[in-house]
Structure 1
Amino acid sequence: MLPTENRLRRREDFANAVRRGRRAGRPLLVVHLSTSGATDPHEPGEAAPPTRAGFVVSKAVGGAVVRTQVKRRLRHLMRDRLIDLPPGSLVVVRALPGSGDADYGQLARDLDAAILRLLGGVAR
């Protein structure tokens, strides 16, 4: 489970990540990453803003049980990968229809490959 401060909840945040961020597609999912930019609005004594992640799993993935399972797997996978992303980043992971039939390992491989591509090959 993702901690509360790392959850993307507002519609505007999802829209910003998808519209302004970079995108990396894989067979099972698409990852959108929006970094905070060159300026840091925080004072030197303040903590950096947390990286936040959100998930989009449509009915094309499967029924309610399958969609919930995919969301839970993706949340668990992202929890361990948040430290690899720049502070203040917004991440949206969109599951594609094949992700409902995929196992945990396949989702992990696609997520790692997409994040690696977005970060320019410097993660994990």
Structure 2
Amino acid sequence: MRTLSRRSEFLAANRGLRFPMPGFVLLVRPRGDGDDAPGIGFTVSKKVGNAVVRNRMKRRLRALARAALPESGIAGADHVLIGRPGGNAIAFAELAGHLDSALKRAAKKLAQ
């Protein structure tokens, strides 16, 4: 799994598919570069809360991605998880279910 680090990669992912969920928004965009490793990036804006709240949200999103993307992630695509306000109040297991649902929807949409 590769980590997105450049702004251009996040902007490119923003032009892809968008799957809003209660605690986050999943962006998925196939890269088309022949590399099958999924890419992952995280964004949590100041609208979510102060630094402590944002860092907690990023840690939760990283843990979700580590658990779900190796099995359910789309090969050769960049995935960006954008934290939403109130995401920290949702149970981790529920967030994991939302991420699995979003990844299945993304795979189905890209298969068409």
TM-score by length of 2: 0.84
2:39 counterpart (32, 52, 56): 52
**CA distance in 1 between partners of 2:43 and 2:9 (Å):** 13
**CA distance in 2 between partners of 1:116 and 1:62 (Å):** 29
Match of 1:63 in 2: 50
Match of 2:12 in 1: 16
Q: Offset of 1:32 from its aligned partner?
A: 0.5
1:61–1:100: 8 Å Cα contact kept in structure 2? no
- Which has a greater percent of helix? 2
Whether 1:100 and 2:95 are equivalent positions in the alignment is no
Match of 1:89 in 2: 77
Whether 1:113 and 2:101 are equivalent positions in the alignment is yes
Mark the runs of 5 or more structure 2 residues left unpaired by the alignment.
none
**CA distance in 2 between partners of 1:69 and 1:106 (Å):** 16
1:34–1:91: 8 Å Cα contact kept in structure 2? yes
1:62–1:100: 8 Å Cα contact kept in structure 2? no
- Greater Cα shift, 60-69 or 100-109: 100-109
* One-letter amino acid of the counterpart of residue 50, structure 1: A
List structure 1 segments (4+ residues) > 6 angstroms apart after TM superposition: none
Which entry has the higher C-alpha Rg, 1 or 2? 1
User: Cα RMSD between the aligned structures?
Assistant: 1.9
Match of 1:45 in 2: none
Match of 2:64 in 1: 77
Question: Share of identical aligned residues, percent?
Answer: 37
- Which has a greater percent of strand? 2
Mark the runs of 5 or more structure 1 residues left unpaired by the alignment.
43-47
* One-letter amino acid of the counterpart of residue 6, structure 1: R
1:51–1:89: 8 Å Cα contact kept in structure 2? yes
SS at match of 2:49: coil
**CA distance in 1 between partners of 2:88 and 2:68 (Å):** 21
